[in-house]
Amino acid sequence: MKLCNFFVNGRIHAGVLTDGGVRDLTAAGYGATLGGFIAAGALPTIPDGPCLDPDELMFANVTEPAKIVCIGLNYKKHAEETGGTPPSEPVIFSKFNDALSPAGGAVPLPGSARCFDYEAELVIVMGRRADCVSVEEAKSCIFGYTCGNDLSARDAQMRSTQWLIGKTFAGFAPAGPYVVTADEFDPDDDHRISCRLNGELVQDDFTSGMIFNCAELVSYVSKFTRLAPGDLIFTGTPSGVILGKAKGTRVWMKKGDEVSVTIDGIGTLTNVLV
């Protein structure tokens, strides 16, 4: 099942994607956003009624997370292209909640940085509390998965050994538009993950190429911080980022650029930089 949040007259409604389009769950009487279904731990029944055209929807944030946790260097080739070595344990950083932005949203570029980069990522959507859980337990704590873009300002990121200030500008964590439930998506399978910048393919890999898989990441993160329903984990990016190119050949993103992240089995997340 693919679920989403979208705006109707300024209010957030939950929807489910069907072959004919998006069915409005809130208008059908469920009275909840996607976060409500996640917190309740129950999936809705697809209602009857008209279908909405996904291309005409204004999507809202997929959840209201208490935490946005990010994983660095989780694809071998990406670790190598940025001058590092594949880590022996997950590399963890975070973004503040106001970094989250929806599919179709415009992402403002801050004036305090200039080296803007894309990072296509699979994002875990937590469905249950996870507090020091095992890898086996972790799987049952995952509600589903969505597309994400760990936008980065590399010049700010490299000012110190802590990456936060280059990662958490407002809007720098686009995610969506759909959350596919865990029963319909296995991240260990070969799901293609790609990124296009202004239509040009710049990243292309498979989610199965992660060094640490999703269950391992949930388990590891839960040993250091309590995860709650609706929390997000950005699981790392494949090779092909601008930072990985040779110095002198890097063309950083700029205002007006359009970035699209596509994951087979989930959908396409597109945002414009302004």
Kindly state whether residues 14 and 131 are assigned to the same domain. no
Do residue 75 and residue 186 come from a single domain?
yes
118 in the same domain as 34? no
Assess whether 9 and 85 both reside in one domain.
no
- Residue appearing with tokens 């993103």: 253
pLDDT in the model for residue 239: 95
Q: How far apart are CA 230 and CA 129, in angstroms?
A: 9
- Rounded to a whole number, what is the distance in angstroms from the first to the last CA of the chain? 33
* pTM for the full predicted model: 0.97
- Reported as a single tens digit per residue, the pLDDT across 67-126 is 999 999 999 989 899 888 889 999 999 999 999 999 999 999 999 999 999 999 999 999
Q: Is residue 62 one of the residues assigned to a domain?
A: no
Q: Mean pLDDT, the chain, as a whole number?
A: 96
In a domain, 185, yes or no: yes
Residues 45 and 113 in one domain: no
Q: What's the rounded mean pLDDT across residues 139-167?
A: 97
At 23-34, the pLDDT tens digits run: 999 999 987 899
For the cut 80, the answer to whether the pLDDT of residue 137 exceeds it is: yes
Q: CB under 8 Å to 221, separation ≥6 — which residues?
A: 69, 90, 92, 130, 227, 233
- Counted domains in the chain: 2
Q: Is pLDDT at 203 greater than 80 in this prediction?
A: yes
Contacts of 222 (CB under 8 A, 6+ apart): 130, 131, 132, 133, 138, 141
Does residue 220 belong to any structural domain of this protein? yes
- 266 and 132 together in one domain: yes
Residue 148 has a pLDDT of 98
Does residue 90 contact residue 71 with C-beta atoms inside 8 Å? yes
The parent domain of residue 21 ranges over 2-56
Is 82 a domain residue?
yes
Mean pLDDT, rounded, for 146-153: 98
Q: What is the mean pLDDT of residues 125-147?
A: 98
Is the same domain home to 26 and 110?
no
- Does 57 have pLDDT greater than 90? yes
pLDDT mean over 195-203:
98
Q: What is the pLDDT of residue 99?
A: 98
- Read off the CATH number of the domain in which 231 is found: 3.90.850.10
Q: Is residue 231 part of a domain?
A: yes
* 251's tokens: 């063309």
Q: Is residue 63 part of a domain?
A: no
- 50 and 87 share one domain: no
Q: pLDDT-derived band of residue 42, with 50, 70 and 90 as boundaries?
A: confident
Let me know whether 125 and 259 are in one domain: yes
Same domain, 13 and 93: no
